[in-house]
A and B are shown apart, each in its own frame.
Chain A
């Protein structure tokens, strides 16, 4: 059974700092890994999807990497802004399925002005 862990559970940084969020998974036989953002009281917004054949994906100030062999993914946020404050969740395939996801519990990021 796939298990996804995100450490730390919470992170507080000053504005402008570069930061890394971590995601680890136990079953490396994945199809893809997806990073989401969740604002308080809202649904999840997809940020990046990395296919199993890829090493990284970039979107603006965000860069996600994937190392299947070690069961790890990182989300790098450059030049953080107060508007980046949110909970960030990673999710990857569960049970050999290419359409069901197992989610981590998220990292609550606070960027202080």
Chain B
């Protein structure tokens, strides 16, 4: 099992550029999440999905879009990157609702100049 993987590991964007972050899990997990982690702010939920074809907004969704076309993949898109989106992005997954652990990917470090 590879667990949760994220692509790319690092990326530098210019303001206004777009990009997509890919998260993949091979554990047949139903739930998937995108977080951002910033110094002094902790981990904050951007968007999440409770199953293939579903998405929902988290705590800080503005400026991001997501898609879950396949159960194993969860994509995070930035349509027009801003310096405020400089952060480390983590994907996570969970088998189902209730008392299951969340498993995290290694993160993507994004810098927007």
Contacts and interface: CB of A to CB of B under 8 A. Distances in A.
Interface of A: 31-32, 34, 36, 41-46, 49, 51, 89, 91, 98-101, 103-106
Interface of B: 4, 31, 33, 40-43, 45, 48, 50, 58, 90, 92, 94, 96-107
Contacts of A104: 42
A99 B50 contact: yes
Contacts of B42: 89, 103-106
Nearest to A36: B104
A82 B84 CA distance: 35
5 contacts: A34-B101, A41-B107, A43-B90, A43-B106, A49-B100
A44 B90 contact: yes
Contact of A99 (B31, B90, B106): B31
